[in-house]
Structure 1
């Protein structure tokens, strides 16, 4: 029988070298509000046979962020994305469909939830629990949080298939989440033209590319401004509202590597990444959109991550979005699932989760493919 322990602030901590301690230890101590302004969650740790996974607890109305609210992620954030689609007929069709889903599924049925393997970033390490471990952790969570649903982040297609088998003891269900893109250096294989062009841009910017490691006030302020310009002003206010304390922690703790590019006399681009197993995971980015287009900063930043992954012998995970851009540079698509635990809830909540799952599994992959997300 797998061993499961749920750890809170004040409990004996896992070793300081563990990724969970380095990336989310401050959330366990202080909660999310000081670091993500549009959330207020408790964060716990689950120790399953020595694997330590973050647990993010949403008690029903703790989030206005797609990272930690299933309702925002699957409905409100999707609506924001649909508004950005250029083709009018497609845009209005998507909006009508999403609004119909919104009318059918109450927020209160989805947002009382415990996230498992949630690192409070868009992409975290892959879920690596076996089927018996998933079942044991689900049982422990049901005993601790009997009124919450459970969402296990970043499950592979193989894991999703495993839990969907009728004899699976976990009573979990898989839902399509998104299309991700991964890249790995293949010795002897000629890279695409776009890859070579981006590598040239990187060489041009190399003298002005540096790793940022000190949390000086001006640096923290500039990183926050570049992040806001991209994620909040350009895309959606439903993205994470990272505070100055978040950027300070990222720079001070070092688990999240932060790289910046200076152009025209100042810092106008940054990209972050971290290692998890055999992956280098590209994470939070920020840039001045106009100067990024002018100088090719985003392209140079992606090329920098590819070079780091090649040098370290790792697979680069570039998360989701900009599918055509990533495919042209040799990335391969990979489907990410979430695992849902809701069978212990009242029937109305079970119905809402089942409806959401059915809709996204039927429609989600086709939308991502058609729009090259």
Structure 2
């Protein structure tokens, strides 16, 4: 089937999240919205009802992993290993391995890439797409950017098994990245997990006041502070460093659905920000007061906000990675996430580096993720 693939302006898009996102990033430089992201956003039309945001990069070594494979496989990987793998006999050689390949990855221009369907979030949900026109899309992109790798992030086995097969058939490399947790069970089965029942009782007993999306506007600055406490201070500064401008604009556009809990002093103590594409919910923005005692169960409050929205909407929830034990005990189904990378048009030495990276991640990294249930 023929298709007329082309770049389009944000103004020509149908109404929806993608138009709101693309208009925002055409108005502001990416670093004004996400401090550690420098990229160009373009919109590609694949068919009359299929559009993707595309990020274009060249080097930008200090970018967040949302558009920098170097950060994902070197800088962020170091942070994750140091934080999660406490066995020094295992941690030390893995850190040496990462350090050893870092210069090699730079020499292979690993950040010279375009990411398709990139909303610059930790998890980029996909529209309902069976891979139609993939070969035509690939040919168009490699003609437009003959020196750039073509990358599709956020593909997991649970949701995208057929799509992953399509990528392999089109000679894409599949490179493992992390383990994410899916929630697709009916409410009754989800509630059958004792931890979910207990979480509901805890929230009822703590008596924090729920704040709906409609009332969250005045709490966005506090929400950003709680996000920073969790994702930048506790986890890694290589997570997206969102600005207050980003929070406010995504709220005003209804592109992200905010919810929260406040205490009796009207202070925001926990929140979630949900990003939804068609039937998939993700929660790229989560935060809680990490300085509060653990007995306050503020992380539970934040995650229960997400579950409540999931079961009100009936959509599938991809709760991303992190806190694996917590998510498993509440019915999360683990699924390895991959990036699909097209390299056939690149020089041999660049393809070799990706092949080595694929071997390391798929043969060493993925088994570690599964063994340690990360």
**Following the alignment from structure 1 to structure 2, what is the Cα–Cα distance between the partners of residues 283 and 338?**
18
Structure 1 residues 305 and 215: alpha-carbon distance in aligned structure 2, compared to 1, 3 A threshold: closer
- The offset of 1:152, in angstroms, is 0.9
Normalization by structure 2: what TM-score?
Answer: 0.90
Q: Is the 8 A contact 1:274 1:281 kept in 2?
A: yes
- The offset of 1:199, in angstroms, is 1.4
**Given the alignment, which residue of 25, 28, 34 partners 2:26?**
28
Instruction: Determine the structure 2 residue equivalent to 1:134.
Output: 134
Instruction: Determine the structure 2 residue equivalent to 1:245.
Output: 245
Structure 1 residues 307 and 41: alpha-carbon distance in aligned structure 2, compared to 1, 3 A threshold: same
Normalization by structure 1: what TM-score?
Answer: 0.90
**Given the alignment, which residue of 25, 35, 38 partners 1:37?**
35
- The offset of 1:184, in angstroms, is 2.9
Secondary structure of the structure 1 residue equivalent to 2:291: helix
Structure 1 residues 247 and 205: alpha-carbon distance in aligned structure 2, compared to 1, 3 A threshold: farther
Instruction: Determine the structure 2 residue equivalent to 1:297.
Output: 298
Mapped pair 1:149 → 2:155: no
**Given the alignment, which residue of 152, 163, 173 partners 1:159?**
163
- The offset of 1:159, in angstroms, is 2.1
Instruction: Output aligned runs, 1:97-136, within 5 Å.
Output: 97-106=97-106, 109-126=109-126, 128-136=128-136
- The offset of 1:292, in angstroms, is 6.4
Instruction: Determine the structure 2 residue equivalent to 1:256.
Output: 256
Mapped pair 1:336 → 2:337: yes
Q: Select between 196-205 and 360-369 the one with higher mean Cα deviation.
A: 196-205
The C-alpha deviation readout for 1:162-196, integer Å capped at 9, x for no partner, is 332xxx3x332211122111113435536111111
- The offset of 1:318, in angstroms, is 0.6
Instruction: Output aligned runs, 1:182-193, within 5 Å.
Output: 182-186=182-186, 188-189=188-189, 191-193=192-194
Structure 1 residues 323 and 207: alpha-carbon distance in aligned structure 2, compared to 1, 3 A threshold: closer
Q: Is the 8 A contact 1:115 1:152 kept in 2?
A: yes
**Following the alignment from structure 1 to structure 2, what is the Cα–Cα distance between the partners of residues 41 and 31?**
8
Aligned residues: 365
**Following the alignment from structure 2 to structure 1, what is the Cα–Cα distance between the partners of residues 40 and 9?**
9
Instruction: Determine the structure 2 residue equivalent to 1:89.
Output: 89
Q: Is the 8 A contact 1:292 1:298 kept in 2?
A: no
RMSD across aligned C-alpha pairs, in angstroms? 2.2
**Following the alignment from structure 1 to structure 2, what is the Cα–Cα distance between the partners of residues 96 and 62?**
19
**Following the alignment from structure 1 to structure 2, what is the Cα–Cα distance between the partners of residues 370 and 363?**
11
**Following the alignment from structure 2 to structure 1, what is the Cα–Cα distance between the partners of residues 141 and 161?**
23
Instruction: Determine the structure 1 residue equivalent to 2:4.
Output: 3
Instruction: Determine the structure 2 residue equivalent to 1:199.
Output: 200
**Following the alignment from structure 1 to structure 2, what is the Cα–Cα distance between the partners of residues 7 and 108?**
31
Instruction: Determine the structure 1 residue equivalent to 2:17.
Output: 19
Secondary structure of the structure 2 residue equivalent to 1:201: helix
Q: Is the 8 A contact 1:70 1:110 kept in 2?
A: yes
- The offset of 1:322, in angstroms, is 1.4
5+ unaligned residues in a row in structure 1: which ranges?
none
The C-alpha deviation readout for 1:247-276, integer Å capped at 9, x for no partner, is 111221112111111125211221111332
Q: Is the 8 A contact 1:215 1:248 kept in 2?
A: no
